[in-house]
A = this chain, B = another copy of it.
Amino acid sequence: MDSKKKKKIVNDPVYGFIKIPSELVFDLIEHRYFQRLRRIRQLGLTYLVYPGAIHSRFQHALGAMYLMETAIEVLRSKGHEITQYEAESAIIAILLHDIGHGPFSHTLEKSLCPDVSHEFISLLFMQKMNKEFDGKLSTAIEIFQGKHPKKFLHQLVSSQLDVDRLDYLKRDSFFTGVSEGVISTDRIIKMLEVVNDSLVVESKGIYSIEKFLIARRLMYWQVYLHKTSIAADQMLIGILKRARELAEKGEVLFCTPALNVFLYEKIEKKNFSDENNESLLEVFSLLDDEDILASIKVWASHSDFVLSYLCNGLLNRKLFSIRLQKQPFETEEIERIQNLVKNKFLLDDQAISYLVCTGSASNNAYYPDEEKINILNSNGELNDIASASDMFNLSVIGKTEKKYFLCFPKGIL
């Protein structure tokens, strides 16, 4: 393939055309590790609530790449020097930042290999690809890890106002159809500035940032922590836990070879780092939503009641009932429901934990204790958005909102 053919344009429903900026980036996108992101839904099981939300991590990564390009162009036009290589590296850093996500994005971290974060695996993938590409990703990795001297490049990749958030908020709003979450990414990006090597926002952009924070909060409660999504998520987590439990007992479960490794071998973080590293990462790279979904359909007729009950429910959208409240649930109430379930399905105590689950979900629109979103006044002063905004005050915008949930089979009460 000649170099001209590699300068491709991709159609994106959100931004229109996305230009792939260089041959190296093109080759990374074509890499099988990256192509795998096509098969991982950005929002896990949210499509059971919002049918449109089946967009993939592949699309999100391209979108974030596009915003990074735009942001770099804006900052350059304001007089900040960013070399061609630095720009490409920042673009690669954001392109690959989520490459370590497993099936259904967050399920893996909670059930398949409980102590392994997707960031950890993203880094492993990047290091592996860096070798394949003769070290051309070294600076991208530095930026990703926050070790590059130009700190603001890392902030574009990961901070309270990074292009990752900008893209996913807009994209998730777009595909769910929750139009109130749509943010003006181009306006926010046009207002970015760098002061003392730190990403800030021009004061004219304050209203856009307010809307961004409001939209973020709205998307949390309407989408990311939608009660039906939580219920479905609990079922999927239960399914994988139960499958691992059965596997441990030596029961035979239908599954793809890659999923087999994660069910039957006790994979932990350290396994990724020992000499088997490379091959385990390769196995991991074969794992995506399809493995889980294909297995669930088979497990739906498994002889284990808990497993088949959960799989059938998830498959045919007979989801848990769920209650949400601001206080933890009373032990008496939980036990009452556990007993109802136990009697109805004639289950033992251990099994019951799969059918009656509690937990909590929380969100912050803004984390006042992390790196702040700073607003640059016309006199050159910097102010935290939480104090610069007339609308917000710290106690309100920085508050963690936490809700407790209690899930159980429908029709129990």
- A-side interface residues toward B, CB under 8 Å? 9-13, 16-17, 30, 32, 35, 38-39, 47-48, 50-52, 54-56, 58-59, 62, 174-180, 184, 186-187, 190, 207-208, 210-211, 214-215, 217-218, 221-222, 254, 256-258, 286, 289-291, 293-295, 297-298, 315-317, 365, 390-393, 396-397, 399, 401
Which partner residue on chain B sits nearest A12 by CB separation? B177
Q: Within 8 Å CB of A390, what residues of B?
A: 396, 399, 401
Say yes or no: B55 contacts A54, CB within 8 Å.
yes
Say yes or no: A35 contacts B256, CB within 8 Å.
no
Say yes or no: B391 contacts A16, CB within 8 Å.
no
Alpha-carbon distance A397/B210, docked complex (angstroms): 13
Task: Jot down 7 A-B pairs with beta carbons below 8 A, ordered by A.
Answer: A11-B177, A38-B51, A54-B54, A180-B187, A211-B214, A390-B399, A391-B397
Q: Within 8 Å CB of A190, what residues of B?
A: 9, 17
Given known contacts A35-B317, A54-B55, A218-B210, A177 and B391 CB-to-CB distance under 8 angstroms: no
Say yes or no: B47 contacts A51, CB within 8 Å.
no
Q: Within 8 Å CB of A316, what residues of B?
A: 32, 35
Given known contacts A12-B177, A315-B35, A52 and B51 CB-to-CB distance under 8 angstroms: no
Alpha-carbon distance A317/B11, docked complex (angstroms): 17
Alpha-carbon distance A289/B290, docked complex (angstroms): 8
7 closest cross-chain pairs (CB), A and B: A11-B177, A294-B294, A32-B316, A290-B293, A207-B218, A13-B177, A13-B52
Say yes or no: A294 contacts B54, CB within 8 Å.
no
Distance in Å: Cβ of A85 to nearest Cβ of chain B: 20
Given known contacts A211-B214, A221-B207, A298-B257, A17 and B54 CB-to-CB distance under 8 angstroms: no
Which partner residue on chain B sits nearest A317 by CB separation? B35
Given known contacts A207-B221, A294-B291, A12 and B51 CB-to-CB distance under 8 angstroms: yes
Q: Within 8 Å CB of A177, what residues of B?
A: 11-13, 16
Which partner residue on chain B sits nearest A61 by CB separation? B51
Given known contacts A174-B13, A180-B207, A180-B208, A30 and B294 CB-to-CB distance under 8 angstroms: no
Distance in Å: Cβ of A216 to nearest Cβ of chain B: 11
Which partner residue on chain B sits nearest A48 by CB separation? B38
Say yes or no: A17 contacts B186, CB within 8 Å.
yes
Q: Of B175, B258, B317, which contacts A30 at CB under 8 A?
A: B317
